[in-house]
């Protein structure tokens, strides 16, 4: 009896078709390299999930929470410093007795070094959020480019007179196959989050707060934003968040690395 040829699995045909399409776009010069790669890997959702999801650990260890038996959270604020929001955010934090970590964009540190110093003088810490914050292409950046983004941030921090950080957060939280190899020799830990309201996407502040509120629990790392294209909405979100945390008896602290819960 002759064996029947069944052909390749359907998923392999689909995946191969997307990869050929991405290669064709690149060879024809019809799209930027980042978009060619996006098309090539569009049929591999597990890989996309590893790039985007905070808990994805295929590319190395990631911190998304910390251990505590108290009503404590770690508030993190991305994208500053910005004169439109940073002073107001610092006032809000002082009013609520809260401490936070600001993941700063390096070019903003270079433009507003006094604001960066003000953050540290107020008792908060800072983290490396890359120099340029190129959210659309960081996921496909090579090791040399990643290293330059990290090191240019460090240069800006030194010029501003602020303490070199121990934490790193990529733009939009996108991980990268080459990222961990650049973080390890620089003694940086990849810190993401496990509670967010998507306030950084231009969403209404109250809608964003309604999303994050049910996710808040002891040991959570909260994601918020300042500055950017809609500073008023981002500032309103931080206000709503801090008022809620105060009402619910949560303290915003700076957890020690020993308490980090590392995935991967």
For residue 229, indicate whether it is catalytic. no
Of 78, 79, 82, 199, which is the active-site residue? 78
Question: Are 127 and 88 within 8 A, CB to CB?
Answer: no
Q: What angle do CA 44, 51, 182 make, to 5 degrees?
A: 130
Q: How far apart are CA 217 and CA 193, in angstroms?
A: 12
For residue 96, indicate whether it is catalytic. no
Q: Which of 173-187, 206-220, 230-244 has the lowest mean pLDDT?
A: 173-187
- Tens of pLDDT, residues 55-99: 777 778 999 999 999 999 999 999 999 999 999 999 999 999 999
Of 204, 225, 229, 244, which is the active-site residue? 225
- Tens of pLDDT, residues 104-159: 999 999 999 999 999 999 999 999 999 999 987 887 788 999 999 999 999 999 99
Q: Residue 66's beta-bridge partner residues? A: 260
SS3 235: helix
Q: How far apart are CA 168 and CA 38, in angstroms?
A: 24
**Domain limits, the chain:** 10-43, 62-263
- Strand 125-128 to strand 260-263: parallel, antiparallel, or no bridges (unpaired)? unpaired
Q: How far apart are CA 227 and CA 128, in angstroms?
A: 16
| Domain 62-263 in this protein, CATH class | alpha beta
Please provide residue 58's backbone torsions phi and psi, each rounded to the nearest 5 degrees: -60, -35
Helices and strands, counts by H and E, the chain: 10, 10
The pLDDT value recorded for residue 8 is 52
């Amino acid at each position: 009896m002759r064996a029947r040829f069944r052909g390749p699995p359907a998923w392999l045909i689909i995946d191969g078709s997307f990869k050929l399409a991405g290669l064709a776009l690149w060879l024809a010069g019809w799209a930027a390299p980042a978009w060619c790669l996006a098309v090539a890997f569009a049929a591999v959702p597990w890989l996309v999930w590893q790039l985007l999801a905070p808990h994805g650990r295929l590319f190395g260890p990631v911190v998304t929470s910390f251990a505590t038996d108290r009503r404590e959270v770690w508030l993190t604020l991305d994208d500053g410093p910005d004169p439109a929001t940073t002073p107001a955010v610092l006032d809000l934090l002082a009013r609520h007795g809260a401490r936070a970590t600001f993941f700063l964009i390096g070019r903003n540190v270079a433009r507003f070094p006094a604001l960066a110093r003000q953050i540290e003088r107020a008792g908060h810490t800072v983290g490396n959020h890359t120099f340029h914050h190129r959210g659309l292409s960081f996921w496909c950046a090579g090791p040399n480019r990643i290293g330059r983004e990290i090191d240019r941030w460090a240069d800006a921090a030194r010029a501003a007179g602020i303490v070199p950080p121990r934490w790193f957060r990529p733009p939009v939280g996108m991980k990268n196959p080459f990222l961990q190899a650049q973080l390890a020799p620089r003694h940086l830990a990849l810190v993401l989050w496990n509670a967010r309201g998507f306030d950084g996407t231009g969403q209404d502040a109250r809608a964003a707060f309604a999303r994050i509120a049910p996710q808040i629990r002891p040991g959570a790392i909260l994601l918020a934003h300042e500055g950017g294209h809609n500073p008023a909405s981002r500032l309103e979100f931080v206000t709503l968040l801090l008022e809620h945390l105060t009402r619910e008896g949560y303290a915003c602290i700076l957890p020690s690395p020993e308490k980090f819960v590392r995935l991967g």
